[in-house]
Structure 1
Amino acid sequence: KNWRGKPLLTHATIVNLIAATKTNAGLKVHCALDTKKYPKAIKPTAEQMAGINLKPNKFHGNWNYSIALDKK
């Protein structure tokens, strides 16, 4: 359920809820449903993982992190 207590029963309901999000600073969120089919169980190589710029959060950084842009 969302904050209004409405059940999130359809993709459209979820997408519309996310798309209606606006921050206190006035930033808006754009959202669309991705219906593409993606392959499952793809394992990245150790080299690929090492190339990801992970920034751990102060709280449980092993679980909570951001993916930072590559430094070029």
Structure 2
Amino acid sequence: MAASDVTLPAVGFVRLADVLKIVPVGKTAWYQGVKEGRFPAPVKLSKRASGYRVEDIRALIDTLSAGKGA
């Protein structure tokens, strides 16, 4: 599935699998980026589930699109 096939909701949360369809990095690189503060941290949604705020992912996309790096 291409990144253009993935659409973010207006508000809410998305799971990591959906984020990785948009931001072309692997899980290990993503988690390292979260640890270093380059990528947004997840939010616990339940005991076993985490998600990412859509607003944070959109901000990351804007930063990457502007060529500022993460």
TM-score calculated relative to the size of structure 2: 0.26
Which is richer in helix?
2
TM-score calculated relative to the size of structure 1: 0.26
